[in-house]
Amino acid sequence: MAKSTVTIESLKQQGLKVALRHFDSDETSGAQTQAAVINPTEKTVKLGTSRCNPVDTFNRKKGRIMALGRAVNPRTSETLTFSNEEELNCQS
Protein backbone atom coordinates (compact mmCIF):
# COMPACT_ATOMS: atom_id res chain seq x y z
CA MET A 1 0.00 0.00 0.00
CA ALA A 2 1.39 3.42 -0.98
CA LYS A 3 1.91 6.16 1.57
CA SER A 4 -0.32 9.19 1.15
CA THR A 5 1.44 12.53 1.06
CA VAL A 6 0.12 15.36 3.20
CA THR A 7 -0.33 18.58 1.23
CA ILE A 8 -0.86 22.16 2.29
CA GLU A 9 -4.09 22.19 0.28
CA SER A 10 -5.48 19.11 2.04
CA LEU A 11 -4.73 20.62 5.44
CA LYS A 12 -6.36 23.94 4.51
CA GLN A 13 -9.46 22.06 3.35
CA GLN A 14 -9.69 20.70 6.90
CA GLY A 15 -9.75 24.27 8.27
CA LEU A 16 -6.11 24.17 9.39
CA LYS A 17 -3.45 26.81 8.81
CA VAL A 18 0.08 25.95 7.71
CA ALA A 19 3.36 27.80 8.18
CA LEU A 20 6.67 26.65 6.68
CA ARG A 21 10.19 27.91 7.23
CA HIS A 22 13.39 26.83 5.50
CA PHE A 23 16.81 27.32 7.11
CA ASP A 24 20.13 27.25 5.29
CA SER A 25 22.89 24.93 6.40
CA ASP A 26 26.14 25.78 8.08
CA GLU A 27 29.34 23.76 8.47
CA THR A 28 28.02 21.62 11.34
CA SER A 29 24.40 20.97 10.42
CA GLY A 30 22.41 20.51 7.27
CA ALA A 31 19.60 22.71 6.06
CA GLN A 32 16.21 22.13 7.61
CA THR A 33 12.52 22.77 7.10
CA GLN A 34 10.09 23.41 9.93
CA ALA A 35 6.34 23.02 9.54
CA ALA A 36 3.64 24.30 11.87
CA VAL A 37 0.07 23.04 11.46
CA ILE A 38 -2.28 25.36 13.33
CA ASN A 39 -5.73 24.24 14.44
CA PRO A 40 -7.67 27.36 15.50
CA THR A 41 -10.61 25.31 16.79
CA GLU A 42 -8.54 23.16 19.15
CA LYS A 43 -6.05 26.01 19.78
CA THR A 44 -3.09 23.76 18.99
CA VAL A 45 0.04 24.00 16.90
CA LYS A 46 1.72 20.78 15.77
CA LEU A 47 5.37 21.08 14.79
CA GLY A 48 7.43 18.89 12.49
CA THR A 49 11.03 19.25 11.30
CA SER A 50 13.06 17.70 8.53
CA ARG A 51 16.84 17.95 8.44
CA CYS A 52 19.11 17.45 5.47
CA ASN A 53 22.43 15.70 5.91
CA PRO A 54 25.17 18.34 5.43
CA VAL A 55 26.74 16.31 2.61
CA ASP A 56 23.44 16.08 0.67
CA THR A 57 21.87 18.69 -1.60
CA PHE A 58 18.96 20.45 0.11
CA ASN A 59 15.60 19.95 -1.61
CA ARG A 60 12.85 22.33 -0.41
CA LYS A 61 10.01 20.20 -1.81
CA LYS A 62 11.26 17.02 -0.14
CA GLY A 63 11.88 18.92 3.11
CA ARG A 64 8.36 20.39 3.03
CA ILE A 65 6.75 16.98 2.44
CA MET A 66 8.74 15.37 5.28
CA ALA A 67 8.17 18.23 7.75
CA LEU A 68 4.41 18.34 7.07
CA GLY A 69 4.16 14.56 7.42
CA ARG A 70 5.97 14.70 10.75
CA ALA A 71 3.80 17.58 11.97
CA VAL A 72 0.57 15.63 11.47
CA ASN A 73 1.93 12.33 12.82
CA PRO A 74 1.30 12.06 16.59
CA ARG A 75 4.45 9.92 16.99
CA THR A 76 6.78 12.50 15.42
CA SER A 77 5.20 15.88 16.15
CA GLU A 78 5.47 18.24 19.06
CA THR A 79 2.11 19.75 20.05
CA LEU A 80 1.71 23.15 21.66
CA THR A 81 -1.64 24.09 23.22
CA PHE A 82 -2.77 27.68 23.71
CA SER A 83 -5.36 28.91 26.16
CA ASN A 84 -6.71 31.76 24.07
CA GLU A 85 -6.92 33.08 20.53
CA GLU A 86 -4.46 35.94 21.15
CA GLU A 87 -1.64 33.54 22.06
CA LEU A 88 -2.38 31.38 19.03
CA ASN A 89 -2.29 34.33 16.61
CA CYS A 90 0.87 35.86 18.08
CA GLN A 91 3.47 36.68 15.44
CA SER A 92 7.17 36.90 16.24
Residue 72 in any domain: the answer is yes
Burial (Cβ within 10 Å: 0-12, 13-18, ≥19) of residue 26: exposed
Residue 26 in any domain: the answer is yes
Q: Which of 90, 23, 89 is nearest to 60 (CA)?
A: 23
Residue 52 in any domain: the answer is yes
- The total domain count for the chain is 1
Residue 1 in any domain: the answer is no
Would you say 25 and 54 are in contact if contact means Cβ atoms under 8 Å apart?
A: yes
Q: Which domain holds residue 49?
A: 8-88
What are the pLDDT digits (tens) for 46-71? 999 999 888 888 899 999 999 999 99
Residue 35 in any domain: the answer is yes
Global pTM value: 0.81
Instruction: Give the Cβ contact number of residue 9 at 10 Å.
Output: 8
Residue 24 in any domain: the answer is yes
pLDDT of residue 45: 95
For the CA atoms of 51, 9, 20, 91, the dihedral, rounded to the nearest 10 degrees, stands at -150
Residue 81 in any domain: the answer is yes
Residue 3 in any domain: the answer is no
What are the pLDDT digits (tens) for 15-40? 999 999 999 877 667 899 999 999 99
